[in-house]
């Protein structure tokens, strides 16, 4: 019955009713997967879903389906990959308007022809769609210099439950007309509406881009160096710290990123991405190297060209780089004031060690973002793994809160999600958030239960 109505909207060839296991969210298999081709179809589907109280899970390439709590219900997975056009590209205005299902990589390829790019480098660089990136507020190491999703989206088109289509923002880079609804939808995990179109701010490609790697025997010196740079006049695009585990995985997977073996384990690796005019890239490399030497660096490498690209692709795609077996990995993201990264790193390590675990950690340290990877396999079978991990996560979360930050579990087995809230506490603004959800999705059909506090 529902299938028939849906098929009438999108055509039978755009509906899947069988073999839907791969579209399951936390093990909950949908009844139907639809592939609308345009915004009108999305609108019709949303009208139907609202009438029929169908739980809708919007989806792009599905790279971040692990994010969120276990859904209460999954009826229809709405895949937006067929909305994949570039609607407008104005190189002279450095703006573009695209459909939400376009792959980031496809957009970048097109922009590159004009020597421009969309300055966002989130994980899953070859599969992620723009809509998914915005809905999950997915960012990368370049946010230190270029900003994050919220800074780069200037306009948005959204289909709400009931099928109403709205626009917010515009196509120009500066706009204070009305509420900044772009911000509301960014990172809302599709719980307020389905993003179908985005207007974006672009940037010219830098003249030169290079990497400086430095090795330190202690985390402290690497972390201090990051702060020294970020509070100076230098203008690094990214400032990263990798613990020895992270570096080992990276260099084992591709030994070429350590060409002179200048950065050999053990120890902590510092990485800076430096971009812009050749003169200032060279100057920054010299300056940071010197500061590194003053801090007792034990080795250095400069990566250029392909090696540079490869290195940052691995960092950008850290979930793929560091989770050898995705279904058996817990990935946590802590966001902290930048000055707390060092303390946090050390304390998390201690918490892990107390349970005989050694998490892989790396950090967009200039931005105060720390990723922690736990392999499930590290805990021997026969032990209650979930109890151990839920304990660890509680501890790390308390630490993050104590440092005025937050901890989100970006990926974890469903069993663990049953024990811990992946988002953590929201604070005294929760009531407002719940009311917003009620206003925009009164019947709670969008991604029910996946977002914060049951939203």
Partner 1 sequence: MDKKSLIDELAQIVGVENVFHEPEDLITYQYDAYLSRAMPDFVVFPTTTEQVSKILKVASREKVPFVARGAGTGISGGAIPVKGGIVVALSRMNKILEIDFESRRARVQPGVINLDLSHAMKDKGFHYIPDPASQQSCTIGGNVAENAGGPHCLAYGVTTNHVLGLTVVLPNGEIIHTGGKALDYPGYDLTGLLVGSEGTLGIVTEIIVRIEHRPEAVKTLLASFSSMLDAAKTVSAIIASGTIPAALEMMDKPAIEAVEAFAHAGYPVEAAAVLLIELEGLKDGMDRLAKKIVEICQSHKAIEVKVAQNEQERMQLWKGRKCAAGAIGRICNKYYLHDCVVPRNKLVAVLSEIYQIAEKYQVQVANVFHAGDGNLHPLVPMDMSDRDQVERALRAGDEILKCCIQAGGTLSGEHGIGLEKNELMPLIFNEADLTAMKKVKAVFNPEDLCNPGKIFPTPGRCLEVTQRPR
- Are the C-beta atoms of 298 and 215 separated by less than 8 Å? yes
Of 37 and 282, CB closest to partner 1: 282
Nearest to 315 by CA among 412, 284, 307: 307
Q: Which is nearer to partner 1, 381 or 429 (CB)?
A: 429
Query: CA neighbours within 13 Å on the CB side: how many for 92?
Result: 0
Output the six-digit token pair for 323.
Answer: 């989770």
Q: Which of 94, 110, 264, 324 binds partner 1 (CB under 8 A)?
A: 94
Rounded to whole angstroms, how far apart are CA atoms 181 and 169? 7
List the alpha helices (DSSP H) in 317-384: 318-322, 341-354
Q: Is 147 a residue that touches partner 1 (CB under 8 A)?
A: yes
Q: Rank residues 16 and 234 by Cβ distance to partner 1 and give the closer one.
A: 234
Task: Name which position in 11, 276, 299, 375 contacts partner 1 (CB under 8 A).
Answer: 276
The interface mask with partner 1, positions 20-59, x = CB under 8 A, is ----------------------------------------
**What's the closest the beta carbon of residue 31 comes to partner 1, in angstroms?**
29
Provide the minimum distance between the beta carbon of 336 and partner 1 in the complex, in angstroms, as a whole number. 5
Half-sphere exposure of 85 (CA within 13 A, CB side): 5
Mask: binding to partner 1, 299-318, rule CB under 8 A, as x and -? --------------------
Does 290 contact partner 1 by CB under 8 A? Answer: no
What is the rounded distance in angstroms from the CA atom of residue 59 to the CA atom of residue 74?
A: 12
- Asked if 33 and 23 touch (Cβ cutoff 8 Å), the reply is yes
**363 lies in the site for partner 1, by CB under 8 A:** no
CB of 13 to partner 1, least distance (A): 29
Stretch 163-202 residues interacting with partner 1 (CB under 8 A): 164-168, 170-184, 186-188, 192
Beta carbon nearer to partner 1, 75 or 197: 197
Minimal distance in Å, beta carbon 90 to partner 1? Answer: 6
Looking at the Cβ atoms of 286 and 304, the one nearer to partner 1 is 286
| Phi and psi angles of residue 335, each rounded to the nearest 5 degrees, phi first | -115, 125
Size of the site for partner 1 (CB under 8 A): 90
Query: Is residue 432 within the footprint of partner 1 (CB under 8 A)?
Result: yes
Count CA atoms within 13 Å of residue 319 on its CB side: 27
- Of 222, 305, 322, 203, the C-alpha closest to 263 is 222
Choose among 243, 288, 289: nearest CA to 267.
243
CB of 174: closest distance to partner 1 in angstroms?
Answer: 4
Three-class DSSP category at 376: helix
Tell me which of 283, 350, 353, 418 binds partner 1, using CB under 8 A: 283
Which CB sits closer to partner 1, 48 or 408? 408
User: Distance (Å, rounded) from C-alpha 167 to C-alpha 189?
Assistant: 18
Find the binding residues for partner 1 in span 231-260 (CB under 8 A).
231-235
Question: Does position 406 bind partner 1 by CB under 8 A?
Answer: yes
Q: Does 405 bind partner 1 (CB under 8 A)?
A: yes
Contact present, 148 and 137 (Cβ < 8 Å): yes
Stretch that binds partner 1, among 76-84, 230-238, 309-317, 412-420 (CB under 8 A): 230-238
Residue 160 is a binding residue for partner 1 (CB under 8 A): yes
**Which residue, 310 or 394, is less far from partner 1 as judged by CB?**
394
Q: Of the listed pieces 3-11, 122-130, 148-156, 292-300, which binds partner 1 according to CB under 8 A?
A: 148-156
Contact present, 164 and 98 (Cβ < 8 Å): no
Q: How far is the CB of 349 from partner 1 (least distance, A)?
A: 20
163 Rama sector, left if φ>0, alpha if ψ -120 to 50, beta otherwise: left
Among 367, 392, 411, 413, contact with partner 1 (rule: CB under 8 A): 367
Residue 110 C-beta: closest distance to partner 1, Å? 16
Could you tell me which stretch among 73-81, 121-129, 239-247, 398-406 binds partner 1 (CB under 8 A)? Answer: 398-406
d(CA 388, CA 393): 9
d(CA 10, CA 15): 7
Stretch that binds partner 1, among 72-80, 253-261, 312-320, 423-431 (CB under 8 A): 423-431
Binding residue (CB under 8 A) for partner 1 from 61, 95, 251, 297: 95
The DSSP-derived string for 279-326 is HHHHHHHHHHHHHHHHTT--EEEEE-HHHHHHHHHHHHTHHHHH-SSG
- Residue 35 token pair: 């592939």
């Amino acid at each position: 019955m529902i299938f028939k109505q849906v098929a009438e909207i999108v055509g039978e060839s755009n509906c899947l009713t069988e073999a839907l296991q791969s579209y399951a969210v936390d093990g909950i298999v949908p009844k139907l997967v639809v592939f609308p081709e345009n915004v009108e179809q999305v609108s019709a589907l949303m009208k139907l879903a609202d009438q029929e109280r169908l739980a809708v899970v919007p989806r792009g390439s599905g790279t971040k389906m692990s994010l969120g709590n276990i859904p209460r219900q999954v009826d229809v997975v709405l895949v937006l990959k067929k909305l994949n056009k570039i609607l407008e590209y104005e190189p002279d205005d450095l703006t573009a308007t695209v459909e939400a299902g376009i792959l980031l990589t496809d957009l970048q390829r097109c922009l590159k022809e004009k020597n421009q790019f969309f300055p966002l480098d989130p994980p899953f660089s070859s599969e992620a769609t723009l809509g998914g990136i915005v809905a999950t507020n997915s960012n990368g190491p370049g946010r230190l210099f270029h900003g994050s999703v919220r800074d780069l989206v200037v306009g948005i088109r959204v289909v709400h439950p009931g099928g109403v289509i709205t626009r917010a923002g515009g196509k120009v880079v500066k706009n204070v007309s009305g509420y900044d609804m772009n911000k509301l939808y960014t990172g809302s995990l599709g719980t307020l509406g389905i993003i179908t179109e985005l207007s974006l701010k672009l940037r010219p490609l830098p003249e030169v881009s290079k990497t400086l790697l430095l090795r330190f025997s202690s985390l402290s010196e690497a972390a201090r160096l990051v702060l020294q740079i970020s509070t100076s006049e230098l203008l690094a695009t990214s400032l990263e710290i990798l613990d020895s585990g992270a570096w080992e995985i990276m260099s084992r997977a591709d030994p070429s990123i350590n060409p002179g073996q200048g950065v050999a384990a053990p120890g902590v690796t510092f990485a800076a991405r430096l971009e812009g005019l050749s003169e200032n890239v060279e100057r920054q490399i010299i300056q940071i190297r010197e500061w590194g030497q003053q801090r007792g660096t034990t080795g250095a490498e400069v990566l250029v060209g392909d090696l540079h690209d490869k290195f940052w692709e691995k960092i950008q795609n850290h979930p793929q780089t560091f989770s050898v077996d995705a279904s058996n990995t817990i990935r946590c993201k802590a966001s902290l004031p930048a000055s707390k990264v060092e303390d946090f790193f050390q304390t998390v390590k201690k918490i892990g060690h107390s349970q005989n675990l050694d998490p892989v950690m790396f950090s967009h340290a200039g931005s105060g973002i720390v990723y922690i990877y736990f392999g499930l396999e590290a805990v021997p079978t026969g032990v209650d793994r979930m109890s151990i991990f839920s304990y660890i996560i509680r501890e790390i979360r308390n630490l993050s809160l104590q440092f005025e930050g937050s901890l989100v579990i970006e990926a974890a087995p469903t069993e663990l999600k049953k024990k811990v809230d992946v988002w953590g506490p929201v604070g005294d603004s929760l009531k407002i958030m719940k009311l917003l959800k009620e206003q925009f999705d009164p019947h709670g059909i969008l991604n029910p239960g996946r977002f914060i506090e049951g939203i």
